[in-house]
Amino acid sequence: MKIHNTTGGRIFDAANYVFLSLIGIITLLPFVYVFAGSFATEAEITRRAFFVWPEQFSLGAYEYIFSTPAFIRALVTTVLVTVVGTVVQLVLTVTMAYPLAKRNLRGRQLIMSLVVFAMVFSGGMIPTFLLVKDLGLLNSYWALILPAAINPFSLIIIKNFFQELPAELEESAKMDGATEVGILWRILLPLSKPVLATFALFYAVGIWNDFMSPLLYLSDNSKWTLQMYLRQVTASSDLLGTGNVDPNYIPPEQSIKFAVIVVATLPILIFYPFLQKHFAKGMLIGSVKG
């Protein structure tokens, strides 16, 4: 389409470009500041109001946190829970989605209706907490993985994706004597790799970022995840009145806080381009068809 560019139009375009660039930069600035601050000395952080590049480069904050057992424990725990949790959640979602994609499986409609109802109405915080408690999962890492194991939306999207795959693929495999499980494993999964990778990333981000589950289910602070640790480190002393923070805890130097935030943020930023590749293509948006 050809646009007749008037002077007013050009001024608007220029202003719009400048404005949007500013929005982009403002979004990014907090990261830049924290990243720069994590490599700065304590003196520089308290002296300079704002900076994007440290005058004096220091690894002190990182040396400190990576020699703190509580931090290392939280980091290792979070990585393990994220990896195991993502695998468990993805396997549960895929194994449920595959049979539901079979149009002639009986009971399919009923199960789908129950799944949809579960998206609209949930038991809420307390009944779920009591269930986890009754199952003996308090202070267990499974409490961070199982209660949210299958995201109903992911389930429906993956089910629809399986349904869209050409039926001929399965029929020819069946003629060659493949079983249903064999078809899923050898034919459908290799074809769905990009889709599954995307959902794996979304599940992983969900577990990594989760603050509410560890807050509810892990009272033992030797089991804390990185988000819980981060909360304790960055909450300033006047914020300590809200519970779940050890009253004897002495807030650390500012540079330590910067470094812990960077460590908690970095994995998300590293995986972000992979996430973005898919949702930018509209895959998630276009592939939901109810």
**Residues 61-120 interacting with other proteins (rule: CB under 8 A):** 92-93, 95-96, 98-100, 102-106, 111, 114-115, 118-120
Distance of CA 154 to the CA centre of its chain: 14
Range in contact with other proteins (rule: CB under 8 A) among 54-62, 76-84, 190-198, 281-289: 281-289
Pick from 70, 142, 153, 200: which binds other proteins (CB under 8 A)?
Answer: 153
Q: Does 175 bind other proteins (CB under 8 A)?
A: no
Residue 200 lies near other proteins (rule: CB under 8 A): no
Of 17, 66, 249, 274, the one binding other proteins (CB under 8 A) is 17
Does the protein bind other proteins through residue 166 (CB under 8 A)? no
In contact, 158 and 198? CB cutoff 8 Å: no
Applying CB under 8 A, which part among 54-62, 66-74, 192-200, 203-211 lies near other proteins? 203-211
State yes or no: residue 60 binds other proteins (CB under 8 A): no
- How is 142-154 classified by DSSP, letter by letter? HHHHSTT-S-HHH
Q: Which residue in 99, 227, 208, 94 sits closest to 151, CA to CA?
A: 94
| Nearest distance, CB of residue 72 and other proteins, angstroms | 18
Nearer to other proteins, 16 or 222 (CB): 16
d(CA 233, CA 254): 9
CA 92 to chain centre: 18
Instruction: Write the CB contacts of 159 (distance below 8 Å, at least 6 apart in sequence).
Output: 97, 98, 100, 101
On the CB side of 208, CA atoms within 13 Å amount to 19
Determine if 274 is a binding residue for other proteins (CB under 8 A). Answer: no
What residue has token string 């308290």? Answer: 46
Mask: binding to other proteins, 209-248, rule CB under 8 A, as x and -? xxxx--xx----------x--xx-xxxx-xx-xxx-----
Q: Which of 32, 84, 149, 178 binds other proteins (CB under 8 A)?
A: 149
Q: What is the DSSP letter of 220?
A: -
> CA angle, corner 261, sides to 257 and 262, nearest 5?
115
Measured between alpha carbons, how far is 183 from 95 in angstroms, rounded to an integer?
Answer: 12
**Does residue 191 bind other proteins (CB under 8 A)?**
no
Nearer to other proteins, 58 or 244 (CB): 244
Please state, in angstroms and rounded to a whole number, the distance separating the CA atoms of residues 208 and 79: 8
Comparison of 72 and 135: residue with beta carbon closer to other proteins: 135
Distances (CA, A) of 116 to 97, 98, 111, 272: 13, 17, 9, 29
* Spatial CB neighbours of 122, under 8 Å, sequence gap ≥ 6: 128
- Choose, by CB under 8 A, the member of 113, 272, 274, 281 that binds other proteins: 272
CB of 63 to other proteins, least distance (A): 20
CA atoms of 216 and 218, how far apart (whole Å): 6
Name the one range near other proteins by CB under 8 A: 25-33, 57-65, 71-79, 188-196.
25-33
Contact segment (CB under 8 A) with other proteins among 60-68, 74-82, 190-198, 252-260 equals 252-260
Site for other proteins in 27-56 (CB under 8 A): 27-28, 30, 33-34, 37, 45-46, 49-50
* 134 near other proteins (CB under 8 A): yes
Q: Which two tokens stand for residue 153?
A: 């939306």
